[in-house]
Amino acid sequence: MNKTALITGASGGIGLEFARIHASKGDNLVLVARSSDKLDEVKRELEAEYKIEVYNIVKDLSVKGAAADVFNEVKSRNIIVDYLVNNAGFGDFGLFAGSDWDKQEKMISLNITALTHLTRLFLPGMIERGEGKILNVASLASFQPGPTMSVYFASKAFVLSFSEAINNEVRDKGISVTALCPGSTESNFHAVAMNDPNLVEDRKMQSAKEVAEIGYRAMMKGKPVVIPGFKNAFLAFAVRFFPREFITKMARKIQEGKHLI
Cβ within 8 Å of residue 260, ≥6 positions away: none
Cβ atoms of residues 103 and 111 within 8 Å: no
| Sequential DSSP letters for 173-214 | GTEEEEEE---SEESSHHHHHHT-TT----TTPEEHHHHHHH
Provide the annotated active-site residues: 152
Q: Residue 83 forms beta bridges with which residues?
A: 5, 133
- Partnered with residue 69 across adjacent β-strands are none
Q: Supply angle C-alpha 14, 256, 250, rounded to 5.
A: 95
Nearest of 86, 165, 81 to residue 128 by alpha carbon = 81
